[in-house]
Amino acid sequence: MGEYILNAIVNLLDIEVILFIIVGVILGIIVGAIPGLGAVIGITLLIPITFYMDPTVGLCMLGAFYCGAVYGGSITAILINIPGTSSNIATCWDGYPMAKKGLGGKALGISTIGSFYGGIFSSFALLFIAPTLAVFALRFGPSERFLLAILGLTVIVTLTSDSLLKGLMSGFFGLFLSTIGFDKVGGSFRYTFGIISLYDGIPLVPAIMGLYALTQAIILIDEGRQHIVNKNEKIYVKDSILPTIEDFKKIWFTLLIRSPIIGTIIGIIPGAGTEIAAFIGYSEAKRSSKHPEDFGKGSMEGLASAESANNAVVGGSLIPLLTLGIPGNAVTAVFLGGLMIHGLIPGPELFTKHGSITYTLMLSLFLANIFMLVFGLVGAKTFAKVAYIPSSILSPVIIVFATLGSYSLRNNMFDVFIMCTFSLLGITMYKLNFPRAPILLALILGPIAEVELGRMISIYGNNLFHLFLRPISFILIILIIISLIYPFLKTRKNK
């Protein structure tokens, strides 16, 4: 481990790595500040670009973008009451009232500092928890890896939609699509219709581009808005950015301890995400506050709790992704695609065979959060103006980059056709309120589950009773059952 960390430090001293971390943070803040986009679409557009980079450089840029995008959505949430991403909804509740009081600068400062501390805390958790969990993952055999893939599917499917039926339908359709191509267990071709380009299955990047990037661009066009944000919206910034020492005394516990812990734990739990972390962080801060009546009226503590919690999810969500291959949310699902196009399979190998790359990625998050702090404090007011970019400019740019990204990986026009097909699918699902994340997760985890199931059957035969005799498998089965029952319990509680 020590050797890998030393190699990672040397890698981070490379000017190219530092430059692309800076680029990732700035792009992340800009994309995060544009309502309707966010980390998922941004990382989707960046993945094809990283394919031509050194894996270390490309992954560091993706990690930096992730950090910047989660923070960037708070800028428009505070200044014009429009959250850049869904994770910044709670930020509006106290950030915008502060801005209307003429404290927009202080609100931006608290948001930036809270995001920084949340990100740093979760980065430490990633650095110390992930290697230990990776060593534990060495005990996983085919049955455990199969159940892990199923767990990843069930958690995402059941928590990405208000309707369990729609979530399951999306997941099963994605599993069907994942069977297209060469059968690694049976050794035959399935559903390819003689098309050579489908022999390796549906290409992941064009599918991601179609489901997210191109779909979002067409939605913007379809809604017919000239601007994502009305140009007449006022930006309230009349004061200084940095909070005072007295302000810091009021919020330090929430900012530095409570919300970062909540966000990191929520990030580690597959199926949760930045939205849940922000809401729980906010509610806990309000519950324990001496002045809960101030929440929703411009409370600095409420603002700090939401932003510190949602940014702490970044490092936490990468822990199950890197160690077990379980994406905790849609962002890490796309991030998983970025790992796989570089031939990096999550699990113990990431921390042994590819240890230098993995530890460089983890340590790069510290640099990314530092740059995010600097750029956020210096340029928050400027970043907010990107929300006024006309849709007539933004949509064509997204379409061009998505098309180039889909074509460039294999120089194959068929991949562009795949992208367009998945875009039609994405638009249809958007109109019918079907979640798109389960399809993406099924395309990634479906083949893994199939291969491990084949290995499990070849070792143990058709006797599945052995799953209950293996402690890890038994625990995973319980977690799968809980993840499937949870939506029913949640619905019953709401009623």
The three state secondary structure string of 445-477 is HHHHHHHHHHHHHHHHCCCHHHHHCCHHHHHHH
Q: Which helix (H) or strand (E) holds 189?
A: strand 189-190
pLDDT of residue 223: 67
Category of 272 on φ-ψ map: left (φ > 0), alpha (ψ -120 to 50) or beta = beta
Residue type, 374: V
pLDDT of residue 190: 84
* Calpha distance 471→454 (Å, rounded): 21
Please return the burial class of 242, using the count of CB atoms within 10 Å of its CB with bins 0-12, 13-18 and 19+.
middle
pLDDT of residue 367: 94
Max distance between CA atoms of the chain, in angstroms, equals: 71
* Calpha distance 380→246 (Å, rounded): 23
Strand partners, 181: 190
pLDDT of residue 21: 94
Contacts of 468 (CB under 8 A, 6+ apart): 474, 477
* Calpha distance 371→116 (Å, rounded): 9
pLDDT of residue 271: 56
pLDDT of residue 3: 79
Contacts of 58 (CB under 8 A, 6+ apart): 20, 49, 50, 51, 338, 342
* Calpha distance 118→259 (Å, rounded): 7
Q: How many residues does the chain have?
A: 495
Q: Which helix (H) or strand (E) holds 182?
A: strand 181-182
- pTM here is 0.71
pLDDT of residue 44: 81
User: Residue 80 is encoded by which pair of tokens?
Assistant: 């014009």
Tens-level pLDDT at each residue, the chain (495 residues): 677 888 888 989 889 999 999 999 999 988 887 766 677 778 888 888 888 888 899 999 999 999 998 888 888 788 766 666 667 777 887 887 888 777 878 888 888 999 999 999 999 988 888 887 766 766 777 888 788 778 777 766 655 546 777 878 888 888 888 888 887 777 778 888 888 888 888 887 788 778 877 887 888 777 665 544 555 555 555 656 777 888 888 888 888 888 899 888 878 776 556 767 787 788 788 877 787 778 878 888 888 888 888 888 888 888 888 887 777 677 887 888 888 888 888 877 788 888 888 899 999 999 999 999 999 888 766 765 665 667 777 778 778 877 877 787 677 888 889 889 999 998 998 888 887 778 877 887 788 788 888 888 887 777 777 777 788 888 888 888 877 776 677 667 666
Contacts of 69 (CB under 8 A, 6+ apart): 28, 29, 31, 32, 38, 39, 42, 43, 85
pLDDT of residue 24: 93
pLDDT of residue 117: 92
* Calpha distance 54→125 (Å, rounded): 26
pLDDT of residue 166: 82
3-state secondary structure of 93: helix
Please state, in angstroms and as integers, the Cα–Cα distance from residue 104 to each residue in 33, 63, 76, 242, following that order: 16, 28, 11, 11
DSSP 8-state class, residue 181 = E
pLDDT of residue 339: 86
* Calpha distance 110→300 (Å, rounded): 7
Strand partners, 189: 182
Count the Cβ atoms, other than its own, within 10 Å of residue 489.
10
